[in-house]
Structure 1
Amino acid sequence: MVAATEPASRPQDVLAGGTFLFQEVGSTRILTPEGFSEEQRLFFKTALQFCREQVLPQAARIEGKDNALLRDLLRRAGDLGLLSVDIAETYGGTGLDKTTSLLLAEAMSLLGSWSVTSSAHTGIGSLPIVWFGNEAQKAKYLPKLATGEWVAAYALTEQGSGSDARGAKTKAVKSQDGKHYVLNGSKLYITNAAFADVFVVFAQVDGDKFTGFIVEKDTPGLTVGPEEHKMGIRGSSTCPLYFEDALVPVENLLGELGKGHRIAFNILNYGRLKLGAGVIGSMKLQLQSALKFAQERKQFKAPIATFPLIREKLARMATLVYAVESMTYRTAGLVDGRLASKERSDADYDAHVIAAMEEFATEASIMKVFGSEAIGFLVDDAVQVHGGAGYIEEYPVERAYRDARINRIFEGTNEINRMLITGMLLKRAVKGDLPLFAQARSVAEELGRGERPRAGRHDALANEEIAAECAKHLAIHGMRLAAETFGTELDKHQEVMAALADVVMDAYALDSMVTRTRQGATSGVLDPVRVALVRLYAMESTTRAFERTRRALCATLKGDALSLELKRLSALDAFTPYDPAELRETLVAGLEEAGGYPYNPL
């Protein structure tokens, strides 16, 4: 163990979205689970206990589409204050910070169907009214949504429009008497539809004004279709909606006429961030279950937990948990930092929340893609650890495997979000909000001299710090070359944008993990298990980031220009030799001692 130097401290509320690409690792303190307040921990503990004691024991009934039970569970959660964190006290909520909101999303994620049900209600169902509703709408709907007396749902997707939200075909025209909007069309894949009391619905007013509406379940002309039978999250309600001359009072128009895209996109930003938190609980549970199974299952007269390839899987699973957790709560801290100067009672507070979510839209997309794919990798390893048992319904990992797949589709597909990550960074750079092009010039000069980043701290994570900085340089250099080559046509070269988005994600993950580990040092001494977690991630991501950048360059440049850049790129190959067995044993020993993931925020 090596002494660690404390990072410099600067207020998080001065940081802009995407800033991590241009700051040295650890130059700014970040929020980590080790820094949660007692109130945040108490809410997390309450939600975790509720999920363990009242939700998981009912998993079979929930999986059997017991909608009455789901509704009852929502009401019980409401009684505990678990549905109202994002709602102001004025309207019956608790009005707490976004970190607490994400902690509840983590705690509620132990069972996929319940996670989707509760998050659809508290997030995409209720937040459009929280952020964009007028006073009368908030007073009417939010107190009932806060307690779970009423259940909310969000209706955006149609047969011909999903990620392309503004391509919706559902139409709305004002009635002759001017008292209603008449809606015609349909919506698909609506979570909570079978038992929701209120829907946030999007339609084209007069054919070209994309607008949001609050539609109650008893609205004349609204029909809820039959339940869909899904691969995973089978217990959650998913139905189509049909509007046939549905009469929606004019006072139920949500936000501004023709500005429905502001509602849809900002709600999706928050939903993407919450998805990052909403996979962590399940990841930890499946890691714990896989460890326990491996310790009890014997082959060749020995527990399979003693086999190196099984231990390798357990180590990789823990590394993914640490990565997602570190990135998620770092981002939560950034959002809360932006809101720290505002009081929840301020008239413009919700406008500041929307602005904060827009500011960190890149990080939200990162969390959506990274989190959804991390849980996919983790549950796949968990099934493999269980062997044949992992394929049998008796074991919860079978359900977890199916449930995890949807995460890569909803809240905007991972393909769309990869495009957004690169696109938003470049758009902000063009506007002058990020110093990407100036930094890229510096990177190019360093590469021309065959230089690579150096560590600012000479401790056990110095090489991992260098790897994080190299990943940033790779991303910045690749984005500059792509922008210069393709200009405004870059969005047509999706393979380039997606590859560079992967590099950006690895840079954010490794930066967050190194910074968190150093901040968590005890008396200046780094925790060896945390160091092993970071090092294992660095070893795998370093090769991946270099390969993704090379792929992007091969799709961007030709001939001598390509040869020159590939040669220059070699300076950023930050691979450092390591002993995989030593890392694995350090890591798994920590898991065995803790009986699972060792860094839970309790």
Structure 2
Amino acid sequence: MNTTESKNNELLRGGQFLVKETKAEDVFTPEDFTEEQKMMRDSVKEFIDREVWPLKERFEHHDYALTEEMMKKIGELGLLGVAVPEEYDGLGMGFVTTMLVCDYISGATGSLATAFGAHTGIGTMPITLYGTEEQKKKYVPKLASGEWFGAYALTEPGAGSDANSGKTKAVLSEDGKYYSISGQKMWISNSGFCHTMIVFARIEDDKYITGFIVENDPENGITMGEEEKKLGIHSSSTRQVFFNETKVPVENMLAGRGDGFKIAMNALNIGRIKLAAAGLDAQRRVITKSVEYANERFQFNVPISSFGAIKLKLAEMATNAYVDESATYRAGKNIEDRIALRVEGGNSHQEAELKGVEEYAIECSILKVAISEDIQHCTDEGIQIFGGMGYSADTPMESAWRDARITRIYEGTNEINRMLSVGMLVKKAMKGHVDLLNPAQAVASELTGIPSFDIPDYSELFSEEKDMIAKLKKVFLMVAGSAVQKYGTELEEHQQTLMAAADILIEIYMAESAILRTEKNAKRFGKDSQKEQIAMSQLYLYHAVDIITMKAKEAILSFAEGDEQKMMLMGLRRFTKYQNMPNIGQLRKTIAEKVIAENAYPF
């Protein structure tokens, strides 16, 4: 067996976390950042603190010129090209580093985060990954430097989640030299200042849409609507775009005819994990501002941070942020390693990155859902800690809450992503990429067998928690396996069951990621150094067990009856039973006191 094959066998495929054990030493954590990555992180954070955070209020007053100005400065730093190969004037950084930049550049304001994400991701990446050599040489260097900005025109009034249902048409000219594009696009980020757009249109009656690189020229049949009035991301330019026989040279077709849907779906996979990364520093900043206020705000002659109700909020906010970091960088490094393996195996950069991200599409959807909901909860609790001041636009909580709301809609709604995560897992199982059948059958046999009454030895760190994770995986296999057996190919029609199964899957991945990160760091830095991290990992798992219990019960009661239902409910109780219940109050106190003492998110 050669080295590549050996590494390939060691690296779990997407979705296999559910049925194969992951060892703590095999996960990547934020504590594993290289010195180069730390320098990149610190330089990005310094730029945001110096240039962006002091102007936060201006971003709330529809200052689109400010967003464009900041994007140019980011381009001058080279950060718009962090993921662009060096041969096209980019930095050519690895996938983890690109996520790290996205993480720290996105925390101050959703307006700049959206502009950055739309430009570097869906505005530039499709050309980098699908473009011809001529297309990449012509467009990518300008996009990487910030000389030009990019946008992505997919959504239409009648085509949102059903992206392939767009009505925009592309008609080939009689001389075969160009296509005339006519149609309407909406919710187009960066449209007010973009130079290029990735536009999707249908040629004749093709089953699938086609992608085109379109230069933004008002004299070529392109008009813009007024800036949209939005709940949040006020300085993110968002307009409708109208194409009226816009002439696009045939050489500007992206990939091949009918490949637009494939481009769109793969762009969304990358966009989902990048969106997850973009929600991390936003949480850190909200937590830091919240604890600063709680330490300064006195009521009844004491700081409100001394109140148990406030400690509870700070502990839960910090826990979610820590877990989200753990899961995001775990998945990001898996993608980076898969890309490297493909390059080593002879794939081009384009194919390696596309296939590397596609391999972990399940994890990308999981992260998008979990973190978008955590950032919304974090900002909501931030408002609550600030009290009446939190509702005022004079404090950063109000805008943070509004900006957070879009993340549950971006890159496919959370409902779509929940159903996708389970649907993709089932499809992987059918292709033989993830063995769900044998583990599911083993769980079914266990349900009818005699349970063990031996008391396990839980003396090692996280021994009970890891055993609980293993049991929670059995819950998913029990529920999903029975649902697949009952509904077969009609499973997609039973969305409530799919949603419940997805929530189980999400909680397993997030909880396991935190436990593995903390276990790895406890082994190398010492258990005493990870006291709060251990508490956060245990606290999150406690909540995960509750959520999984509720969602599994909902699913079981929805599709199972009689003896089957009774047996599955008994199995659920067995698989969610703690031997030693954690002291939740003490865990929260431990976490909160660290946050309060540091007067910031400290982990």
Please report the TM-score for the alignment, with normalisation by the length of structure 2.
0.95
Amino acid of the residue matched to residue 97 of structure 1?
Answer: G
Are residues 325 and 52 of structure 1, via their aligned partners in 2, closer, same or farther at CA, if it must alter by over 3 Å? same
Question: Within 5 Å, which residues of 2 pair with 1:200-211?
Answer: 200-208=198-206, 209-211=208-210
Partner residue, 2:105: 108
Alpha carbons of structure 1 residues 450 and 362: separation in structure 2 relative to 1, 3 Å: farther
**What's 2:473 paired with?**
472
Cα deviations by residue, 1:551-593 (Å, 9 ceiling, x for unpaired)? 1111121223212221232211234423222112211122123
> Which residue does the alignment assign to 2:567?
564
Q: Contact 2:96 / 2:336 at 8 angstroms: preserved in 1?
A: yes
**What CA deviation, in whole Å up to 9, does each residue of 1:519-570 have, x standing for no partner?**
0014542511011101111111111111111111111212232122212322
Inter-partner Cα distance in structure 1 for 2:456 and 2:25: 15
Task: Identify which range, 503-512 or 570-579, moves more after superposition.
Answer: 570-579
Kept in 2: contact 1:86–1:101 (CA 8 A): yes
Q: Is the 8 A contact 1:13 1:337 kept in 2?
A: no
For the residues of structure 2 that align with 1:10 and 1:177, how far apart are their CA atoms?
A: 52
Contact 1:112/1:233 (8 A) holds in 2: yes
Q: 1:18 to 1:516 in 2, by over 3 A?
A: same
Task: Give 1:14's match in structure 2, choosing from 6, 11, 15.
Answer: 11
Deviation at 1:13, TM superposition (A): 6.4
Does the C-alpha gap of structure 1 residues 170 and 69 become closer, same or farther in structure 2, counting only changes over 3 Å?
same
Select 1:173's aligned residue among 171, 174, 178: 171
> Residues 146 and 520 (structure 1 numbering): CA distance in 2 closer, same or farther, change over 3 Å?
same
Higher relative contact order (CA 8 A, sep 6+): 1
- Aligned in 2, Cα 1:30/1:556: closer, same or farther, shift over 3 Å? same
How big is the shift at 1:348? 1.1
- Specify whether residues 70 and 586 from structure 1 end up closer, same or farther in structure 2 by C-alpha distance, changes over 3 A only: same
- Alignment check: 8 A CA contact 1:379 1:397 kept: yes
Q: Is the CA contact 1:31–1:329 (under 8 Å) kept in the aligned structure 2?
A: yes
Q: Gapped runs of 5+ residues in structure 2?
A: 1-5
Residue matched to 1:596 = 600
Runs of 4+ in 1 over 6 A off after TM superposition: 9-13, 344-347, 452-457
Residues 60 and 399, structure 2, Cα contact 8 Å, conserved in 1: no
Percent identity between the two aligned chains: 39
Answer with 515-524 or 19-28: which moved more: 19-28
**Segment drifting more, 12-21 vs 359-368:** 12-21
- Asked if 1:365 corresponds to 2:365, the answer is yes
> 2:508 is matched with which residue?
507
Native 8 Å contact 1:155 1:188 kept in 2: yes
Residue in structure 1 matched with residue 581 of structure 2 by the alignment: 577
Contact 1:370 1:505 in 2 (8 A): yes
State how 1:451-466 maps to structure 2 within 5 Å: 451=451, 458-466=459-467
Q: Secondary structure at the match of 1:240?
A: strand
Deviates more, 1:209-218 or 1:457-466: 457-466
Question: Which residue is equivalent to 2:183?
Answer: 185
Q: Does the CA contact (< 8 Å) of 2:67 and 2:111 recur in 1?
A: no
| Matched residue, 1:3 | none
Stretch deviating more after TM superposition (14-23 or 93-102):
14-23
Instruction: Please state how far the C-alpha of 1:163 moved relative to its aligned partner.
Output: 1.3
Q: Which residue of 2 aligns with 1:553?
A: 556
Match of 1:134 among 109, 129, 132: 132
User: Is 2:70 the partner of 1:73?
Assistant: yes
1:401 equivalent in structure 2: 401
Alpha-carbon deviation of 1:322? 0.8
Moved more, 54-63 or 399-408: 54-63
2:543 and 2:367 map into 1 onto residues whose CA distance is 19
Q: Which has the higher helix share?
A: 2
- How big is each residue's C-alpha offset from its partner over 1:51-88, in whole Å with a ceiling of 9 and x where there is no partner? 11111122222222222222221111111111111111
Deviation at 1:445, TM superposition (A): 2.1
Deviations 1:103-157 (A, max 9, x none): 0111011211111111111111110001001011100111111111100001111
Between stretches 66-75 and 421-430, larger displacement belongs to 66-75
Question: In the alignment, what sits opposite 1:254?
Answer: 254
Note if contact 2:24-2:517 (Cα within 8 Å) is conserved in structure 1.
no
- Does residue 39 of structure 2 align to residue 42 of structure 1? yes
Letter in 1 for 2:581: P
Q: Which moved more, 1:202-211 or 1:415-424?
A: 202-211
**8 Å Cα contact 2:539-2:587 kept in structure 1:** yes
Say if 1:13 and 1:393 are closer, same or farther in 2 by CA, change over 3 A: farther
- In 2, the alpha carbon distance for the partners of 1:490 and 1:556 equals 11
1:318-351 per-position Cα deviation (integer Å, ceiling 9, x unaligned): 0100111000000011001112245599771111
**TM-score normalised by structure 1 residue count:** 0.95
Q: How many angstroms does 1:367 deviate by?
A: 0.7
Q: 1:593 to 1:355 in 2, by over 3 A?
A: same
Is 1:529 the counterpart of 2:532 in the alignment?
yes
Aligned to 2:426: 426
User: Can you list the C-alpha shifts for 1:175-209, whole angstroms capped at 9, x where unaligned?
Assistant: 11211111111011000000000000101111324
Cα deviation, residue 455, structure 1: 7.6
Which AA in structure 1 matches 2:300?
Answer: F
Q: CA RMSD in A?
A: 2.0
Q: 1:5 matched to which residue of 2? A: none
Residue type of the alignment partner of 2:297: R
Secondary structure of the residue aligned to 1:506 is helix
1:496 aligns to what? 497
Map 1:273-352 onto structure 2 (within 5 A): 273-341=273-341, 348-352=348-352
Superposed CA offset, 1:10-57 (max 9, x none)? 878632001110123536611100001111111111111111111112
2: distance between equivalents of 1:112 and 1:456? 48
Q: 2:324–2:371: 8 Å Cα contact kept in structure 1?
A: yes
Matched, 1:98 2:95: yes
The separation in 2 between residues aligned to 1:561 and 1:523, in whole angstroms, is 48
Aligned to 1:217: 216
For structure 1, which segment, 89-98 or 21-30, has the greater mean C-alpha deviation from structure 2 after superposition?
21-30
Q: Is the 8 A contact 2:461 2:519 kept in 1?
A: no
Query: Residue by residue, what CA displacement relative to the aligned partner does 1:468-522 show, whole Å, maximum 9, x if unpaired?
Result: 2222111111110000000000000000001010000110011111110010014
CA contact (8 A) 2:24 2:519 kept: no
Q: CA deviation at 1:467?
A: 2.3
Q: Is the 8 A contact 1:210 1:260 kept in 2?
A: yes
CA distance in 2, matches of 1:432, 1:503: 22
User: Is the 8 Å Cα contact of residues 338 and 356 (structure 1) preserved in structure 2?
Assistant: yes
Q: Which runs of 5+ in 1 are unaligned?
A: 1-8
Shift of 1:173: 0.9
Q: Distance in 2 between matches of 1:398 and 1:543?
A: 30
Give the superposition deviation at 1:394. 0.4
Q: Distance in 2 between matches of 1:456 and 1:262?
A: 50
Aligned partners of 1:32 and 1:330 also within 8 Å: yes
- Give the equivalent residue in structure 2 for 1:83: 80
In structure 2, distance between residues paired with 1:127 and 1:450: 54
Corresponding residue pairs, total: 591
For 1:388, the equivalent position in structure 2 comes to 388
SS in 1 for 2:106: helix
| Counterpart residue identity of residue 287, structure 2 | L
